[in-house]
Amino acid sequence: MNKKCDFCDRNELGERIIAEDDYFYIVATFGQISDGGYVIIIPKTHIPCMGQLKKPELYNIAPLLNRVSGAITAEYGYAPLIFEHGIIGQSIKHAHIHLVPTKCSLTLRIYRDFPNSKINGVREWRELVNMYSAHPEPYLLWREYSSEIMSICHNPPAPAQYLRVILAEIAGRPERANWRNMDQELDKRLCTETVLRLKTYFK
């Protein structure tokens, strides 16, 4: 636990918490690029990226992601795009995974933006952990709504919040890219609605 980290302080997450278990929080995120349903999953252990997951969090992340994805799909009609900024331009230096209900695809844009970066796929989180343990370098991780493969772009020269920014652009909502600049009243309403709509799936 890091006393200076907002994601380590449950009180900072407050009413945005949808559910939690022994290892993770499920939280409606600030900066709702979609019309609600955009959540993040945060490990309770203070680590900088998901590549540093340890047991038992590592064994619990896939079932939890499946459960959250199922809830988002049932409630919002789209399987979520999943992504992580693995120590690349994080606004909070604590691991967290984004889940956004959308059919937008990021893959071609990422290949175009980083033609010199190695990109490969993994099916399981332990593969990411093993890869990061062998080569602890920054990465971008994403999984398209229609895919079972997580793609990893290794050490790209990406700007801050890159995946959020390109998603907002592709979705036609560039004004929502930076959560700090988004309309606060709209964002608060979408966050509140997200909590109310998804909470029923975790009782």
| 33 compared with 181, residue with greater pLDDT | 33
Domains and CATH numbers, the chain: 10-202 (3.30.428.10)
Closest CA to 158 of 175, 137, 133, 129: 137
For the CA atoms of 88, 5, 202, 16, what is the dihedral angle to 10 degrees? -100
For residue 131, pLDDT over 90 is answered with yes
Q: 167: closest CA among 93, 96, 81? A: 81
Give me the mean pLDDT over the 171-186 stretch.
91
* Residue 154 falls in which region: left (phi positive, over 0), alpha (psi -120 to 50) or beta: beta
The fraction of the chain above a pLDDT of 90, given in percent, is 86
Cβ-based neighbours of 106, under 8 Å, separated by 6 or more: 81, 83, 142, 144, 163, 166, 167, 170
Selected residue with higher pLDDT from 100 and 160:
100
Binning pLDDT at 50, 70 and 90, where does residue 52 land?
very high
Q: What is the pLDDT at residue 180?
A: 85
Hey, what are 106's tokens?
A: 């990021």
Q: How many DSSP H helices and E strands does the chain contain?
A: 6, 8
Rounded distance, CA 190 to CA 78, Å? 17
pTM of the model: 0.95
| DSSP structure class, residue 202 | G
Residue 101: pLDDT above 80?
yes
81 confidence band (pLDDT: 50, 70, 90): very high
Whether the CB-CB separation of 86 and 52 falls below 8 Å is answered with: no
